[in-house]
Amino acid sequence: MAKIVPDDRARQGPAGRPVLVVLICALILCGIAIAGYLTWVTMTSPTSPSQDASRDAVTGSPSGSSTGSPTPPPNTGSSAPPTPVTPAPATPQ
């Protein structure tokens, strides 16, 4: 005869830590790791001449701080250069 087990005792393993506490702790640890990584990356970031040139073109200063409103580049009406090779449109036969 099969043993009758009450619903509150029918478990696959012993009672452990609540899952919500484990998930919250994991998210907190991930946040600390990401904050540490971003801090490390910004402290070890080398200066780049091309980055300084683009900052100078946008803000007028290689440090990135703007003293006034920069003049935007003129609008040419096209956001992308034309492609060198454009296939001919398909014609029905």
pLDDT digits (tens, 9 = 90+) for 25-54: 999 999 999 999 999 887 766 667 677 777
In eight-state DSSP terms, residue 76 is -
CA atoms within 13 Å, Cβ hemisphere of 42: 5
**Per-residue model confidence (pLDDT) at position 31:** 97
CA atoms within 13 Å, Cβ hemisphere of 43: 6
* pTM assigned to the model: 0.38
**Per-residue model confidence (pLDDT) at position 93:** 65
Task: Return the sign of the alpha-carbon dihedral for residues 26, 32, 36, 38.
Answer: positive
Q: What residue ranges do the domains of the chain occupy?
A: 19-43
Q: Could you give the CA distance from residue 84 to residue 93 in angstroms, rounded to a whole number?
A: 27
